[in-house]
Amino acid sequence: MPLVLSLLLVGFVQPRSDVGHQPLENHTTLTRVAPVDSQLRPTATGRAVLWANDRPFFPVGVTYHFTRQQGEWDADLKLMQDMGLNTVRADFAWRDIVPTWEGRYNFAVLDQFLDKAAQYGLYVVPVFSYATGDINTPWWFWLFYRGWGAVGADGWRPFGDWPSMNSADYRRLFSEYVSQTVRHLSQHPAVLAYQVMNEPHYPPEPLSDYSDAALKAFRQWARDNHQSLQDLNGSWDSDYRSFADIVPPQLTSQGADWSTLLWQDWRKFAYESVASFVGYIATVVRQADGQKHAILVSEMTWWWWGEEPATAVSPEYVYDAADVVGFDVYPESGAHADYYGLNVDLLQRIWQKPVWAMEVNRKDGNPTAGEIRAFVASAVERGATGIFYFEWRDTWSDGGAYGLLDTRGNPKPQFYAFADTVDWLRRQADRLVSGQVSPPDAYVVWSSEAIAITAGDKSPAHDVFQTASKLLRRGLRVGILPEAQALAVGLNPTAGVFYGQAGAR
């Protein structure tokens, strides 16, 4: 994790000053990171940050698919340590932990990796992935369980192992795996926090899940959110005789009619389904862990590109259960580095929680040194308190070219560029920790309701970004103000832009 930065009121913290270079006598018992009792509380200046062992802690690191690199751990972790990283975001699959049969857990590789990370002075954020390009779900689950997958409006399942977030079997068995894994890991000194799934969302093509489980849940949702069937029929311009007859809307050749209340209800149900599933798994983690470690939820920033209604991921829903808010964004170039700072500002303003940039990279995986610096600087200047690069090594299943090292372990130009950025951050530490994040000179209103129901190029989110970018090019600091917060302080959200302290935290 690329850098341990004392940033914006968070001290420059290495896990311990004595880690990393003594000979290893017995890696199963030797601990070279201090055990974490993570807490989230403000610094003296009022900013919410992650504290570890009574000290403000700023994680900096990379995503590492450790199960694919078992023969390279020593070389890779030593190189991370030498770069000044202090954390590894460790991605693994359900199939890795319960590979052969339901209830038969194998933690050997995971244990060995955490021990090895501790040896090199690196904390670990385990990531409980739930649907991956190389299939997360174990073979026995596919064999013995039916009806757990998401289904498109055409009756076909999307490619891969996308689950229905309302499937009772999937929720039960996935949560059991998470619970047992957390119970096993909770005492390990290398664990810093847990990431609950990675970018949880619906596959955008079918515009949500039309499985039997989702249909049953939607009918119950409709009953709970409408006073009566007559009220529902009036809102939807329908003539249902029973809640049991309700069917969700489907795309036509003309697309979705987002203006109808039926489509708006279907979108809201989808948002709540994703957030509810994330919240359910977060509760499982807290119960198994005894609330010793923080819970991270990280999302791709679908909301900026008109994909919020398609993926059912809203920045105002999905992070409800999180202790730490994470985001992934891949700008097309350094000209769009502003996405980092604007995301940090928006998410802090909504949630008042620490915000981490979890997957720093460019859309094609080939950022220049200047772009890497610009991405990180944009996030840091608006108050990010964690920085992670995606990823450590090139991996075919992730597109093949996003690593700091190539598939053979050779450093790429991005490796040296990121190392320079880490060094730059270290040299800026005193300045960064000496003051608060500067308040915005101008605020652009985030039109929450319109963005939630308008997909594609017509999404108001595009206009928000363009307006904010123009203000930034004029040399102004820009904040993103959710419309509910604008209303709360007596502002008219339709004005779009406010100057001065009107929307200040």
Per-residue confidence at 17, pLDDT binned at 50, 70, 90?
very low
Condensed to tens digits (0 to 9), the pLDDT of residues 294-342 reads 999 999 999 999 999 889 999 999 999 999 999 999 999 999 999 999 9
Task: Look at residue 3 and tell me whether its pLDDT is greater than 70.
Answer: no
Tell me the sheet residues that pair with 405.
393, 411
Q: 328-331: long-range contacts (C-beta < 8 A, 24 or more apart)?
A: 328/199, 328/298, 328/299, 328/300, 328/301, 328/358, 328/359, 328/390, 329/300, 329/301, 329/304, 329/357, 329/359, 330/359, 330/361, 330/362, 330/363, 331/362, 331/363, 331/371, 331/375
Task: Look at residue 223 and tell me whether its pLDDT is greater than 90.
Answer: yes
Q: How far apart are CA 103 and CA 141, in angstroms?
A: 11
Q: How far apart are CA 505 and CA 484, in angstroms?
A: 13
Say if pTM beats, i.e. exceeds, 0.75.
Answer: yes
Condensed to tens digits (0 to 9), the pLDDT of residues 234-288 reads 999 999 999 999 999 987 767 778 789 999 999 999 999 999 999 999 999 999 9
Among 54-58, 337-341, 470-474, name the one with the lowest average pLDDT.
Answer: 54-58
Q: How high is the mean pLDDT of the chain?
A: 87
Predicted pLDDT at 32:
59
Q: How far apart are CA 312 and CA 268, in angstroms?
A: 8
Return the ∠ at Cα 57 (arms to 84 and 358), rounded to 5°: 70
Condensed to tens digits (0 to 9), the pLDDT of residues 343-394 reads 999 999 999 999 999 999 999 999 999 999 999 999 999 989 899 999 999 9
Task: Look at residue 463 and tell me whether its pLDDT is greater than 90.
Answer: yes
Which residue type, as a one-letter code, is found at position 402? Answer: Y
Contact 376, 387 (CB under 8 A): yes
Percent of the chain with pLDDT over 90: 71
